[in-house]
Amino acid sequence: TFVYSLHTRGRPFPVVLLVKGFVFCMGNGLLQGYYLIYCAEYPADWYTDIRFSL
């Protein structure tokens, strides 16, 4: 990501595309976080499982 952006210094980048990408990532993160926190049901032993602590 950083190498490619350094090679394209002279080319302008549309701000609208940047904003759309930011909004998409924020919305996606909010939906996934909401599901994991409020919608998914975990058994009681899940919190002591090694997968939860990683």
Q: What pLDDT tens digit does each residue of the chain (54 aa) get? A: 678 877 777 778 789 999 999 999 999 999 999 998 899 888 888 888 888 787
Token pair 């009681």 in the structure block, residue? 44
Report CA-CA distances (Å) from 5 to 8, 13, 18, 30, 44.
5, 10, 13, 28, 47
Q: Which domain holds residue 28?
A: 2-41
Q: How far apart are CA 19 and CA 24, in angstroms?
A: 9
pLDDT score of 1:
65
Tell me whether residue 32 is in a domain.
yes
Q: What does the pLDDT read at residue 28?
A: 98
Q: Note whether residue 9 is domain-resident.
A: yes
In a domain, 34, yes or no: yes
User: How many domains does the chain fold into?
Assistant: 1
Residue pair 28/22 in contact (Cβ under 8 Å)? The answer is no
Domain assignment present for residue 48? The answer is: no
